[in-house]
Amino acid sequence: MTDTTTQQATAAASGAAATEQFRGKQRTEAAEVDTKRVDTLVTELLAATHDIIRRHQVTYAEYDALKTWLIQVGADGEWPLFLDVWLERVVEEVANASREGSKGTIEGPYYVPDSPRLPAEAALPMRDGEGGTALLFQGQVRSLHGTPLAGATVEMWQADNDGLYSQFAPGLPEWNLRGTVVVDDQGGFRIHTIQPAPYQIPTDGSCGTLIRAAGWHAWRPAHLHLKVAAPGHQLVTTQLYFQGGAHVSDDIATAVKPELILDPTPVADGTGREVTYDFVLDKA
Ligand code: DHB
Ligand code: FE
């Protein structure tokens, strides 16, 4: 074990980092949600909950267990984790229902903007001797009409071979396995990285408590995170998974789609694996 992995990744530390990251991000303004919408959505959410309480004859003991747990989710900073694992996929489904180009899926809590910019062929920043099978991830960014999008960027972030994300687990270099690749004049990119390991959401905080109480497991399949952008086109936020990998068919976040499964092949010189995946972006 290297000294970067001797420090424990804790739910409290990654929860605090994910909470801080979310507060700093400007995906939308809370003020955009109007009173009528809040009234409708919260009224229906409460009515659905009331209905569950009646149908299942929820007891005071269960109500107090829920209250204790909800208080602890906040104390642990695990709201970003909880929401992105169990709700985000449906928000993404609704947001991108009419998209014709490449499929998206959840962003998750571990995106950090402004990663180092890299040329069209580049290795993601990584440590000397970074663990894991080498992976060459290559492809082209095109419009719906097949035009190469020369101005595109392919932003990638991923866990390492221990399932840890830089800036959310201790001891990793700041931008480890994070980068923003600027495609070439044919929309092409060749990114040298490593195949990530399956990822277990932190189990020592409230999400872990819930998972144990319900008899579930905490695993997401190994995945690459991507944001692909080009001027005049819709940004795609997605993840790519690996054929035959553990938990591809029982992802705790239910974020796998058939179009998002890669099947890399061994590189002829025996140095690792490679796969080609093209992105098609809808017009903005
Ligand atoms: C979570 C982690 C991920 O890496 C991801 O892609 C989605 C969700 C999580 O821990 O909530
Ligand atoms: Fe992830």
**What single letter denotes the amino acid at residue 109?**
P
Beta bridge partners of 154: 181, 228
204: DSSP letter: S
Beta bridge partners of 136: 192, 274
183: DSSP letter: P
Instruction: From 84, 203, 206, give the residue whose CB has the most ligand 1 atoms within 8 Å, as the site to mutate.
Output: 84
CATH of 4-281, one of 3.40.50.80, 2.80.10.50, 1.20.120.160, 2.60.130.10: 2.60.130.10
Residue 108 CB less than 6 A away from ligand 1 = yes
**38 class by beta-carbon count within 10 Å (0-12 exposed, 13-18 middle, 19+ buried):** exposed
Spans of all domains in the chain: 4-281
- Residue 80 alpha carbon to ligand 1 centre in Å: 9
Q: What per-residue confidence (pLDDT) applies to 5?
A: 41
Residue 109 CB less than 6 A away from ligand 1 = yes
Q: What is the pLDDT of residues 169-228, one digit of tens each?
A: 999 999 999 999 999 999 999 999 999 999 899 899 999 999 999 999 999 999 999 999
104: DSSP letter: P
- Residue 2 alpha carbon to ligand 2 centre in Å: 23
Q: What is the pLDDT of residues 100-119, one digit of tens each?
A: 999 999 999 999 999 999 99
* Contact between 239 and 260 (Cβ < 8 Å): yes
Q: What angle do CA 94, 207, 251 make, to 5 degrees?
A: 50
Calculate the alpha carbon distances from 73 to 13, 168, 240 in Å.
13, 17, 29
Residue 275 CB less than 6 A away from ligand 1 = no
Q: Cα–Cα distance between 38 and 53 in angstroms, integer? A: 22
Q: What per-residue confidence (pLDDT) applies to 4?
A: 40
Q: What per-residue confidence (pLDDT) applies to 273?
A: 97
Instruction: From 22, 199, 206, 225, give the residue whose CB has the most ligand 1 atoms within 8 Å, as the site to mutate.
Output: 199
**Torsional class of 168: left (φ above 0), alpha (ψ -120 to 50), beta (otherwise):** alpha
Mean pLDDT by runs of 10 across the 284 residues of the chain is 50 82 71 87 98 98 97 94 95 96 96 97 97 97 97 97 94 97 98 94 93 96 98 98 96 97 94 96 97
**What single letter denotes the amino acid at residue 81?**
L
Q: What per-residue confidence (pLDDT) applies to 56?
A: 98
